[in-house]
Amino acid sequence: MRTDARAHHDPAVRGFASDNYAGAHPEILAALTLANGGHQIAYGEDDYTDHLQRVIHSHFGAGAQAYPVFNGTGANVTALQALTDRWGAVVCAESAHINVDEGGAPERMAGLKLLTVATPDGKLTPELIDRQAWGWEDEHRAMPQVVSITQNTELGTVYTPDEIRAICDHAHERGMKVHLDGARISNAAASLDVPMRTFTSVAGVDVLSFGGTKNGMLFGEAIVVLNPDAVRRMNHIRKMSMQLASKMRFVSVQLEALLAKDLWLRNARHSNAMAQRLAEGVRQVDGVEILHEVQANAVFARLPHDVSERLQKRYRFYFWDENAGDVRWMCSFDTTEDDVDGFLVALKEEMAR
């Protein structure tokens, strides 16, 4: 088919900056073509969104309900609003995406107070939650109503199903609900080698933000409500939060392509394996320290600042904490073994200069 567009980049060039830098998986693009043509009812009444619900049930149980949205920030901010009252607050790790990487959207768009807790590895525990979960009757304090955790975490670590269950039990005993930011939930499931329901619906999570974009989708995520009693007016809040896609079939068909068979798992296993390969190589390089356990598709490392700057001229990646010299190297579904090996050669060369 003819197009007047031209390629403006070299598709053979890949770096380690973000799983968002990757393109879309060919099976996702094929699914989009499948859903194209003809007319379908807009705003989620289409056949693809209807079918998606059955696919979601197979992963999370018959009570689960998916609400497709455009992006992860939108999923988080919409879900948290549906879980809280106007006076509510959300307990989360200091490193949580909702706290550091959403431009203040939970505060500005949802009017939410975030009650943050410092963690060594991005993971909350019942004890850490208790540093902020108190004062429900104190009108001077925003009321802690939700605990939000990220699986896998922003630091590449993974909660075990038991750890999540303990958090859910603890939160529920105190009348709080649990939200799980699953921007990389597939990587967590691949790492744990368990079905996603094991550490979500079965463990007691009330609502999750299901991530697709970082795992091969063009765009799109879904809020998945696991406990319908925990939320109010999700449809209205999604619209008010500017996350209601008119041509929703194109988000839903991507989620179906990812989840109906094993594309979600294949992609996640691959990006996790590339991170393991990278970490193994990095451990052989004197002077480079790996900072957190590598459990998903990210490697966090500390190395001399000038080495990182030279390396960044050859491969794209981000400083995580520039003062400390900490960097993040992220693998994606399309990272190849050659990419990793080439990067390791470059790292060794720059360390030796």
Ligand X SMILES: Cc1ncc(COP(=O)(O)O)c(C=O)c1O
Interface residues toward ligand X, by CB under 6 A? 71-73, 97, 150, 154, 181, 183, 213
For ligand X, the closer of residues 211 and 281 by Cβ is: 211
Q: What are phi and psi of 224, to 5 degrees?
A: -115, 115
Least Cα distance to 253 among 223, 225, 218, 224 occurs for 218
Q: Which residue has the tokens 């630091």?
A: 155
| CB of 106 vs ligand X, minimal distance in Å | 11
For ligand X, the closer of residues 187 and 350 by Cβ is: 187
Least Cα distance to 146 among 162, 160, 133 occurs for 133
| CB of 163 vs ligand X, minimal distance in Å | 17
Containing 180, the helix (H) or strand (E) segment is: strand 177-182
| CB of 227 vs ligand X, minimal distance in Å | 21
| CB of 180 vs ligand X, minimal distance in Å | 10
| CB of 208 vs ligand X, minimal distance in Å | 11
Q: Which residues, in sequence order, are CB contacts of 121 under 8 Å at separation 6+?
A: 153, 155, 157, 292, 293
For ligand X, the closer of residues 73 and 308 by Cβ is: 73
Per the omega criterion (within 30 degrees of 0), is the bond before 76 cis?
A: no
| Tokens linked to 253 | 């068909």
For ligand X, the closer of residues 44 and 182 by Cβ is: 182
Crossing angle of the two packed helices 337-352 and 305-312, in degrees rounded to 10? 130
For ligand X, the closer of residues 250 and 347 by Cβ is: 250
Measured from each CB, the residue nearest to ligand X is 72
